[in-house]
Structure 1
Amino acid sequence: MSNSIEEYIDKRVIMPLLSWDIFSQFSLNKNDIYNLQDQEIKQLLYFSHKYKWDQNIQSILTKNSYEALVLTNNAKEIIWVNEGFTKMTGYSKEYVKHKTPSFLQGKDTSENKKTIIRKKINNNTPFKEVILNYKKDGTPYQCEIYIIPLKKENTTHYLALEKAI
């Protein structure tokens, strides 16, 4: 039996290590993602400092998974979205500014679901819900939203962590 192992080892063709290019590209992509997340956290920390929110934004973002971030004022108008929102919906940051997130809803979005979300927002407590939204190209998608009221003494803004499911 040892002869067969030795024969196998002698007949092996050893290929040079060429995987560094794959690894380095993966590493670069991963670094790009972390840099983007750092920028998003910094932007939200800027808003947090400006509006003196009580919530720990960094903790919220690191403890929850999301693709998109949407920050609205108390009138529910979008004041900021992250790059993930653009990737998920197809809408540019400039286009969505000052719109309400309801512009993403369409003909098959449940009226009951919209009413439930409005009521939960008015309760001023964090909640999760799933709603049918539409991308810029008209494609429908199920969107899980985690909405967090951001407060000083009273709610001043809402942060939505969103992901397509």
Structure 2
Amino acid sequence: MSDFPQYDEAIAKYHKCLNIKTTPVFSWDFHHEFLHELKSSFLDLDKLKLIALQNKWNLDNWDLKTRLKEEVIIVTDVKRTIVFASHNIVKMSGYKAAEVLGKSPKMFQGQETNLVTLNEIRNAIQLQEPFEKTVFNYKKNGTVYACLIKGFPVFNLQGQLSHYIAFEKAA
């Protein structure tokens, strides 16, 4: 085993002759974004579960985990004040979730929002019925976007109206 120094020299010579080009690792940004998105989804799911627990909802009918990945979720109380907005609302509307809490969904409406459609939504809410409508909403910067809204009344375990939940995505 006296050949180790010669072996080490041969390996060092070989590696010096290699023409290796290194590039910076760009995937870290993607990984960070993925982890941030995943963490935010779990936080949103925990918040929704807490609201459901406090108000005695039955969550068996909702696949919230999947919906949080694909849609914006907004929960309003019976007075139609926003009490929850998922983190991904910023991608669709430009508003952060904290900016819409305590406000009415009317904040997204403007001149191009169809009044007939709004009346249909209002009627469905008053009748405590689910609805599915596409409306023109306004982003924080003023741009108009089509928004598909699937809204549902949420009842507590005693059958009393507790909240409204809307699953939204750009149409």
Give me the TM-score of the superposition, normalised by structure 2: 0.75
Q: Does 1:52 align with 2:56?
A: yes
- Identity over the aligned pairs, expressed in percent? 26
Q: Which of 69, 74, 96 pairs up with 1:70?
A: 74
Contact 1:71 1:157 in 2 (8 A): yes
How far 1:55 moved relative to its partner? 3.0
How far 1:159 moved relative to its partner? 1.3
Secondary structure of the residue aligned to 1:56 is helix
**Structure possessing the higher radius of gyration over alpha carbons:** 2
1:51-97 Cα offsets, whole Å, 9 max, x none, are 01123376244257644221100111111212212332223434322
Q: 2:169 corresponds to which residue?
A: 163
19 and 145 in structure 1: CA distance in 2 versus 1, 3 angstrom threshold: farther
99 and 18 in structure 1: CA distance in 2 versus 1, 3 angstrom threshold: same
Ranges in structure 1 where 5+ consecutive residues have no aligned partner: 1-14
In structure 1, distance between residues paired with 2:99 and 2:27:
37
Amino acid at match of 1:86: V
> Which structure's relative contact order is higher, taking Cα pairs within 8 Å and 6+ residues apart?
1
Question: 1:10-89 maps to which residues of 2 (within 5 A)?
Answer: 21-56=25-60, 59-62=63-66, 66-89=70-93
Give me the TM-score of the superposition, normalised by structure 1: 0.77
66 and 155 in structure 1: CA distance in 2 versus 1, 3 angstrom threshold: farther
> Which 4+ stretches in 1 moved above 6 angstroms?
15-20
